[in-house]
Amino acid sequence: MIPISQVQPNQVYVITELRVDASIYKHLQNMGMLPGTKVAILSIAKGNGIVLLQNHRVALDIEVLNQIYVNEVNLEPAHWLPLSDLAVGELAMVVDIQGAGAVHRRLMDMGITKGTRLLVRKVAPLGDPMEIRLRGYELSLRKEEAENVIVSPIID
């Protein structure tokens, strides 16, 4: 059992204990952050952390993150990763779309939404762009765009 502030990014963990004040506990409970809930830390910077909780990103102060204890989930696949990290032929499901404003909207307009299954068809020799198949069509994405799409590999 370790504080969520000390875990590896983009891996799935399960909350085991919340050692926070009653008022903070109530706030976390209202967000759905309870013991037994699966979460992943997306990033920690400048005293704040971004946690992926039930397909929503939540920003929490580092002091609160130090009081949330988790254990690693031992499921296959055991982690989430950016779409840009997948190899040719790998199948995955979209877990989250990062990016703000126009980037987020553009990815969604192209059909990349949470729960969508996709297949990496081709990757250019230098890794940029990559071609994926989703919703019955092929789509080319720049590596920069693919880094904003968080996926969970599917093992068939």
Reported as a single tens digit per residue, the pLDDT across 28-86 is 888 888 888 888 888 888 888 988 887 678 889 999 999 999 988 765 444 788 999 89
* Cβ atoms of 53 and 33 closer than 8 Å: yes
Res 156: pLDDT: 61
CA–CA separation, 49 and 58 (whole Å): 8
- As a whole number, the mean pLDDT across the chain is 87
pLDDT (0 to 100) of residue 29: 86
Q: What percent of the chain has pLDDT over 90?
A: 38
> Which residues are registered as beta bridge partners of 60?
49
Residue 116 DSSP one-character state: -
Helical segments of the chain, H only: 22-31, 62-65, 102-109, 143-146
pLDDT band for position 92 (cuts 50, 70, 90): very high
pLDDT of residue 74: 60
Cβ neighbours of 147 (radius 10 Å): 15
Which residue is associated with the tokens 């929490």?
A: 60
The Cα–Cα gap between 66 and 79 comes to: 21
**Which range, of 11-15, 91-95, 147-151, averages the lowest pLDDT?**
11-15
